[in-house]
Amino acid sequence: MQLIDGKKTSKEIREEIAEEVKEMTASEKRTPKLVAVLVGNDGASRTYVNAKSKACEKVGFGTETLHFEESMTQDELLKEVEKLNNDDEVDGFIVQVPLPKHIDEDVILQAINPKKDVDGFHPTNIGRMTLGLPTYLPATPAGIVELLKRYNIETSGKNCVVIGRSNIVGTPVSILLSRKTEGGNSTVTLCHSRTADIKAHTLQADIIIVAIGKKHFLTEDMVKDGAVIVDVGIHREEKENGVKLYGDVDFENVAPKCSYITPVPGGVGPMTIVSLLQNTLLAAKGEIYKK
């Protein structure tokens, strides 16, 4: 069994991005700038946005966090989105979700200019991804595929089961893994809460991506020997000595059966942030949408 080390891989990619930023600076080009919009005080969201800011600083990006009170109205947030859409100094921005319940996330995400949608959630970018056109890929699915490629894990012709059909992870990663590209060409089965017998599917799988949001959902009896497991879940539990993190996979019992497996933490999480940086770099260079 070999661990798929997202922390190490993301560090390598950050170093590659930092080199490109140095080259941009040397040629007197403006360095990329990423802005995060945070509404309210959700703990996990604040942690993610802080990590994003630190990652930006490490690679030489400009970065800014716009933090608003939870009482902010939907119209007020739409006005902030429009300001960022029209700010030529901002290459990309994210509106951190979840948003307060009185704000419609779909309305907000669709108001973002696709050219600055470095989260890759806008329908235009999702459509381009589905068609195999150049686009900003959703950060977590892109990070998963990048991990598989960098560990030389063969996906072509393999049976891949994705557990979870969210628009953020499950559905887009199922599309990426099935595309006719490097890191794709898998035969993909997308399982979810209404799938009658998930175990019957996972026992046939060479690669399993688990993003269902349930602690220790994938157990050892659901996995064949030699399978590759990617755990997207993260669950925080308070312990006497601090916070303990768990994934959607029962790591302790599943890992011995695997050829490769991602840990929690230190697996997919760091790759999500670095994928966001990669999209921002593409935006700054005008490689997807011309400046």
User: pLDDT tens for residues 194-245?
Assistant: 999 999 999 999 999 999 999 999 999 999 999 999 999 988 888 778 788 8
CATH number of 139-269: 3.40.50.720
Catalytic residue among 5, 33, 91, 96: 96
Query: Vertex 273, ends 135 and 167: CA angle to 5°?
Result: 55
Q: How confident is the model at residue 76 (pLDDT cuts 50, 70, 90)?
A: very high
- The answer to the question of whether 174 is labelled as a binding residue is no
pLDDT at 209: 98
Positive or negative torsion for Cα 74, 277, 215, 163: positive
Catalytic residue among 5, 91, 117, 119: 119
Q: How far apart are CA 144 and CA 207, in angstroms?
A: 12
Known active-site residue 96: yes
The helix/strand/coil state of 161 is strand
| Annotated domain spans of the chain | 26-116, 139-269
Q: How confident is the model at residue 42 (pLDDT cuts 50, 70, 90)?
A: confident
Candidates 21, 138, 91; CA nearest to 286 is: 91
- Its CATH architecture, for the domain 26-116, is 3-Layer(aba) Sandwich (3.40)
Known active-site residue 52: yes
- The answer to the question of whether 166 is labelled as a binding residue is yes
Quick one: how many helices (H) and strands (E) in the chain?
Answer: 10, 11
Query: Vertex 228, ends 226 and 230: CA angle to 5°?
Result: 155
Q: Is the Cβ–Cβ distance between 237 and 243 less than 8 Å?
A: yes
pLDDT higher than 90, residue 147: yes
Q: How far apart are CA 246 and CA 237, in angstroms?
A: 8
Catalytic residue among 52, 91, 116, 248: 52
- The answer to the question of whether 179 is labelled as a binding residue is no
Amino acid present at 268: V
Q: How confident is the model at residue 39 (pLDDT cuts 50, 70, 90)?
A: very high
In the block, tokens 């490629």 appear at 149
Amino acid present at 221: D
Domains 26-116 and 139-269 share a fold: yes
Average pLDDT, the chain: 95
